[in-house]
Amino acid sequence: MNRILIVDDNDKYANNLISYFSSKGISSDRAVDAAEGWKLYSNHKQYQMIISDVTMETQTSGLWMMRKIHKDGYAGVKVIASTGFDVLGVMSFSRWFLPLFCGLHWMIPKVPLKKGVVEWVPTRLSNKNPKPY
C-alpha cells in the first residue's frame, strides 16, 4: 500500500501536501510534531515516503527526527519541506549536507507550497530515488 507520513505543525502546509498526494491516489498520515512523527514511523515502518518540516517543537526537531529515522535504517524516500529553503544559499548547502546528515533525497521549499505547488528540488541522493510524483 502506498502511504506517506507528513510531519508538520502548520496546517496550511500539511493540508497542501495531503491534497497533493490525495490527488495522485496516495494516502497519508499526519503528525503535528517530531515526537508524534517518530511514534507513527515506529508503529508503521511501511511508509514509502516521509516528509518533515524542520522547525516544530524546537528549531531543529524535524532534522533530528529525520536523522533518527535514517539511523534506524529506513529505506524509503526522505523529504524535508522547510521555509529555510527559501533563504538564499540554504538550499544549495542543504543539497550536499542533508544527504550526509539524514539521508535526504528531496527538498520542498515552502513559498510555492503555501500556494499549493509542490516543487521537488533534488539532493545529491535523488538519483537513487527518482522524482516521486
Q: Where do the structural domains in the chain lie, given as residue ranges?
A: 3-128
DSSP state letter for 106 = E
Hey, what's the cell of 85?
A: 529553503
| pLDDT confidence of residue 131 | 60
Query: Does the pLDDT of residue 80 top 70, yes or no?
Result: yes
- pLDDT of 85 reads 81
d(CA 105, CA 47): 15
**Phi, psi at residue 60, to the nearest 5°?**
-130, 15
Given a cut of 70, whether residue 129 has pLDDT beyond it is no
For residue 31, what is its C-alpha cell?
Answer: 503528525
Q: What is the pLDDT, as a whole number, of residue 89? A: 82
Q: Nearest-CA neighbor of 105 among 83, 80, 68?
A: 80
Q: What average pLDDT does the segment 6-28 reach?
A: 95
The percent of residues in the chain predicted with pLDDT above 90, rounded, is 70
Burial of 100 (0-12, 13-18, 19+ CB in 10 A): exposed
Mean pLDDT score across all residues of the chain: 90
Decide: pTM greater than 0.85. yes
CATH class of 3-128: alpha beta
For residues 49 and 131, the model is more confident at 49
Q: What percent of the chain has pLDDT over 70?
A: 95
* pLDDT given for residue 1 in this prediction: 53
Under the banding of pLDDT at 50, 70 and 90, the label for residue 88 is confident
